[in-house]
């Protein structure tokens, strides 16, 4: 039961990505506009009119989220016939991270 559900969820995500890509292409979104559309509204959304309502510890904070989903480990142990990992477009490529580390 688990494998068909996972396949259905993967197919749904893939269809969603493809329909979003068509919308972005028709609207002629730039790469920056696409990134703003698919990322967190707290980072790319409108600013609150009165920031004094929020404590200083939560204003203008950088939040980095990493997905350490245990599903990858289960795929490795369960079988060798699993699909290749599809990394979402909003994640940086390892070469870009390595380049940034080198610059720092």
Mean pLDDT estimate for the chain: 76
CA–CA separation, 77 and 20 (whole Å): 33
* DSSP class per residue in 46-67: PPPS-GGGS-GGGTT-------
Residue 18 has a pLDDT of 92
- As for how many domains the chain has, the answer is 1
Give the global pTM.
Answer: 0.45
Structural domain span for residue 76: 2-103
CA–CA separation, 53 and 55 (whole Å): 7
**Which whole number is the average pLDDT over 95-101?**
89
Interval 31-82: pLDDT, tens: 888 888 877 666 666 666 777 777 777 666 666 666 656 566 665 566 666 5
Residue 15 has a pLDDT of 92
């Amino acid at each position: 039961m688990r494998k068909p559900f996972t396949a259905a969820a993967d197919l749904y995500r893939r269809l969603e990505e493809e329909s979003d890509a068509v919308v972005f292409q028709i609207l002629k979104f730039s790469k920056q506009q696409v990134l703003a559309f698919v990322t967190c509204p707290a980072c790319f959304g409108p600013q609150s009119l009165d920031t004094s309502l929020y404590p200083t510890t939560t204003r203008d904070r950088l939040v980095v989220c990493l997905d350490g989903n245990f599903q990858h480990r289960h795929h490795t142990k369960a079988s060798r016939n699993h699909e290749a990992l599809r990394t979402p477009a909003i994640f940086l490529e390892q070469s870009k991270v390595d380049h940034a580390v080198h610059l720092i």
